[in-house]
Structure 1
Amino acid sequence: MKEPTPSISRPKYQQAAPGASLLKKTFVTIASASLLTGLGAVPAAQAAKPDEAKNLVVNGKFDAGTEGWRTNDANTEKLSVRKYAQGAVAELRTTETKTAVLNDITNTIKSTEADASYTVSARVRTEHPGIWGQLRTRIVGNGETKIVGESFGLNDTSWTTVSFDLTVPTSGSTVDLNVLAWSLDPSKNLIIDDVKLVERDAASTQPVPAPVEEDPKGPATVEEDPKGPAPVEEDTQKPEQNTDTPAPIQPEPIDKCDVAPKTDRTLFGVSLGGSTTGAKETFAQSMARQDANYDDTEVVRLFDPGMPVSWSKRAPYIEDKTISISFRPDPAEVLTGQHDAALLNWFNAAPSDQTIYWTYFHEPEPKIAAGEFTAAQYRAAWARIAKLADQACKPNMHATLILTGWTANPRSNRDWRDYYAGDSVIDVLGWDPYNDATSQEGPKSYASPESIFGNVVEISKNAGKPFAIGETGTRLIPTDPNGTQRAEWLKDVARYLDNEDALFVAYWDSKTFADFRLLDSASRDSWAGIIDGKY
């Protein structure tokens, strides 16, 4: 919590990407009529070539240039086609950092039959590693939009095949097909080829697209084609449909050991904090004090400075609570494997009947900036520990990355994905935003929840991850000595974060260089009521 959180209104934040090298299927339902706009008449698609008779995608190999394709914004997203003797590939670029979308001009499927099944696939690569995106379909019908997609991360320049199966439950729906590059930098590109959507019966008889070594269109690096690229053909057609911002995508469970966290409402709680008298407390005493202060808190935020403390020492005092716990062994030590056995034992011994959000090394940004370890080491250590958690197979435990609130602010010049070990590792995005975390003089006002939490909410939702607030808080302002204004601000925060579907919110009821504790009765009673669902 030792970084600033400026109290400013957030700017529009471009859709962010899960930075994963593994592919991950995602799904969301949006009951909103506004997403049905822009689906009117469009130019009729040309018939597929005979050798693509079972492929419903128009010009999926881009042999006809950009025909059948467009971007969502011709002014900032640039679509071109490179032609070679062996075939053609499409290229997406941008004029500013933003999500670029390759969009079918006419919805690939105009009207479905109930329970129709398809296989969707495409090949993607980049000449500038570090690209994240998604192959997705938008199913529109019966007043709602459903998205099924497969995320990808490109960490080298080789071709990657992305594919997933799609079943449309209702008849009469349309299916829109897109390939997205999340937060694409103008200096980078996404190259796309062999976009297919085939009926499942037909798909079962077709082989999976061959890896690049067997690709009849030539080598992975397209510039190596001896005939070189043909003149670029840019798509100049203005968007005619489906121009809405890509909807956030919620991940589906992968298996019984990776169940997406879910709550009927946002849960609220506190950190254990420190004794108001300054006397040392045992864990049992601290927990009893906070339960008395807040009438049995729902969530407890725990911190271990090194390896996690044994469950046997804490379990009797935290029964029936949602637990947010972080531990901080050095990444270099983790990567040697020296902590593997102890960590696996810790995961195995964890309670199975409580929701546990576990975090490896919360707020790593300052440590990385100071050179204590690298972002790559941090991500690799996360991945190693997550594999141990997978071995324990505890569906009630969720890997939660917790970053500072400042990192989500564009003024920080940070990219949250630098610390993100990938979709297959991280289950929940956690954040620590404050109302003025670090100034010596303290806050002069209680900033609006939107200005404090808006960036982290938008990043999390655009990344397709559930989110939580691992820490938050505020000191009293000069005009509020009795805490009555803070008490109302706390309720505003609770309503805002509950409305945005935060999984949990923990108040930083602690004293560091400054005092964030809720010592006045107005603030304490307010937070106790919030924990009890009264806000």
Structure 2
Amino acid sequence: MAENVSIASDDGLQVVGPELVVNGSFDADVRGWKTNLSSTVLESTDGGRGDTRGAMLSAPTTENVVLNDLEATVVKSSPLVTYRASAWVRLQGGGEVSGQIRVREVGPSSVSQHRQAFALTSKDWTHVTMDLQSGLAGSSFDLNVMAWELAPGQALVVDDVSLREIPVTAPRSRTPGGVLSNGCAYSTRGIPNCGAYFGATYGANTDPSEFEREQGQHLGIRRTFFGPGQVSSAVRVAKSDLAAGRLPWISFKLPHSWEDMSNGKGDAWVRELVSQLDELDGPVWLAFHHEPEGDGPIREWVAMQQRLSPMVRDGADNVGFTIIVTGWHQLYGEKQYSFDSIWPGDEMVDVLGVDIYQHYGTVKNGQRNLDWVDMGSHYFQHVSAFARKHGTDWALAETGYTEMAHSYRPNWMRETYKSMVLNDGIAFSYFNTWLNNEIGTWHLRHVERQDAFGAVLRGSPHMVDPSSPPPPPVVELPAPELLQQTGVPPERRVGRNP
């Protein structure tokens, strides 16, 4: 039969260590394997690849079928080890079916999933492979091959299921950096392998130590905003954040126009900024001119990002290059702002940030907005799909909700964070400031919303748990300057999220 390699890896990459899957070739029938449902039929078949045997799954009624290892393929992993999982699959019986190869990584206190999807429309063999990095110290790996809604008369045939260690050849952004409080690894650029940071903007770049003491936990991530003449201030704030166990996420306005920056006029400024950030003892996320929609020709903004990204990523292996847009404009606005239109290019962006607010309860022109938007289905699923397609990560760079929205759904903070994590988001930053709040009142002024924030914060992962007292307050910007650096103008934050 023909072999249709639709998802292929570099077959020339040397693997190290033994094969970890028991009877992945199914030469010993289906020993060592099980199904998740009693109705699923698992049997050995002589229809494996070539003249070998394979495993075949079918069901009397339409259902999701799962080929599951009987015992954990990896009993106890080491963090920062990279593995390659693969399987050959084909569909028997006609029609079409989609599925995935999945590794459930079960740690002492949390579970993460690594997945690679496939789609089958013929009897040809398809090779499905994915590389994954162990993120939970001492975790076990549960290896599955799955098909969704397999119909009667159809069968999923599986052969040569494999899991091996491979040499770490990940890009610099994935270089091991440390381990989070949940046991999950993060890269030198601060990208977590599982879980998601939870934090906030606070005041006018105001030190959040007192707020953190009230919440019982330091912020996992902190957004701050600076002008082009405030490089030294930004570096001091980032250093203070790292000392307190926060991941700094810095937004800068630029010393020149987008066009001039893309033509190299700001290169010296960027290199000096990156050089100073490179000296810091920990990861930093960096963005240039966030929320560009309506601020100028968007193609010039894209060209600017394309020039600055290599300078940042080549100049400092601890700095994650991020772009931050509103999200609404990309999904529901003009075509010129679509994700495809504003994307600088694959392997240029470490984190795609979106600023998405829950506008229920806001008032504009005397009209109160009572349109409740489900963040997951309306935004997160689409952002996640785009990020996966382009090999990047994504995060919620700004968000907020009103006191009225909290009264309507008191669990909004927890539900939104959970929805973001389920859609592969890696950070959640709440816009907790009195600035740019003309229509939203996002500021956590009331104890009920503060309690809701604190409850999620205390259950979220962070880089370190500092044993020393927090550093002295660092207040780098007066409120008027921050007003020029943060957020979408109030008149654009209306309706169904902008």
- TM range, normalised to the smaller chain? 0.5 to 0.7
Percentage identity across paired residues of the two chains: 17
2:262 aligned partner = 335
Q: Quick check: 1:366 aligned with 2:366? A: no
Say if 1:476 and 1:486, in contact at 8 Å, map to a contact too: no
User: Which residue of the partner structure matches residue 270 of structure 1?
Assistant: 200
Q: Which residue of 2 aligns with 1:404?
A: 326
CA distance in 2, matches of 1:384, 1:534: 35
Give the aligned residue type for 2:284: I
Query: Which deviations, in whole Å up to 9, do the C-alpha atoms of 1:190-236 show, x marking residues without a partner?
Result: xxxxxxxxxxxxxxxxxxxxxxxxxxxxxxxxxxxxxxxxxxxxxxx
Q: Distance in 2 between matches of 1:72 and 1:315?
A: 49
Higher relative contact order (CA 8 A, sep 6+): 1
- Provide the C-alpha distance between the structure 2 equivalents of 1:447 and 1:495, rounded to a whole number of angstroms: 16
SS of equivalent residue, structure 2 residue 291:
coil
- Of the structure 1 ranges 349-358 and 337-346, higher mean CA displacement relative to structure 2 is found in 349-358
SS at match of 1:385: helix
2:231 is equivalent to residue 303 of structure 1: no
For residues 346 and 383 of structure 2, the distance between their equivalents in structure 1, rounded to whole angstroms, comes to 17
TM-score (norm 2): 0.52
Residue 347 (structure 1) aligned with residue 274 (structure 2)? yes
Inter-partner Cα distance in structure 1 for 2:332 and 2:89: 31
- Aligned partner of 2:384: which letter? V
Q: In structure 2, do the counterparts of structure 1 residues 103 and 455 end up closer, same or farther at CA, with 3 Å as the change threshold? A: closer
Q: Would you say how many aligned residue pairs link Structure 1 and Structure 2?
A: 305
Select the residue among 275, 280, 298 that pairs with 1:375: 298
Q: Contact 1:308–1:326 at 8 Å: present in 2 too?
A: no
* Among 15, 18, 39, the residue aligned to 2:91: 39
User: Which structure 2 residues correspond to residues 5-84 of structure 1 after superposition, within 5 A?
Assistant: 33=66, 39-40=91-92
Residue 469 in 1 paired to residue 392 in 2?
no
Q: Structure 2 matches for 1:67-466, cutoff 5 A?
A: 107=124, 110=125, 139-140=127-128, 146=130, 254-256=170-172, 259=175, 261-274=191-204, 283=205, 285-295=206-216, 296-306=218-228, 309-310=231-232, 311-318=234-241, 319=243, 320-329=245-254, 330-350=257-277, 352-367=280-295, 372=296, 374-394=297-317, 396-410=318-332, 412-413=334-335, 414-436=337-359, 440=364, 441-444=367-370, 446-450=372-376, 451-466=378-393
The whole-number CA distance in structure 1 between the counterparts of 2:202 and 2:214 is: 11
Q: Which residue of 1 aligns with 2:19?
A: none
Q: CA RMSD in A?
A: 4.2
Q: Tell me which residue corresponds to 2:484.
A: none
Gaps of 5+ in 1: 1-23, 43-69, 74-100, 111-137, 149-172, 174-239, 243-251, 275-282
Question: Is 1:529 aligned with 2:451?
Answer: no
Tell me the CA shift for residue 435 of structure 1. 1.0
1:520 to 434, 438, 446: 446
* 2:429 is the counterpart of 1:506: yes
The alpha-carbon deviation at position 241 of structure 1 amounts to: 9.6
- Measured against aligned partners, the alpha-carbon deviations of 1:321-380 in whole angstroms (never above 9, x if no partner) come to 11211112131231242322221121122154333221122111222xxxx2x3332222
What is the distance in 1 between the residues matched to 2:235 and 2:392?
31
Counterpart amino acid of residue 256 in structure 1: R
Q: Which runs of 5+ in 2 are unaligned?
A: 1-8, 14-63, 68-86, 99-117, 133-144, 146-154, 158-167, 176-186, 462-498
Query: Within 2, Cα distance between the matches of 1:291 and 1:393?
Result: 30
Q: Quick one: which amino acid aligns to residue 463 of structure 1?
A: H
User: Match for residue 418 of structure 2?
Assistant: 495
Amino acid at match of 2:276: A
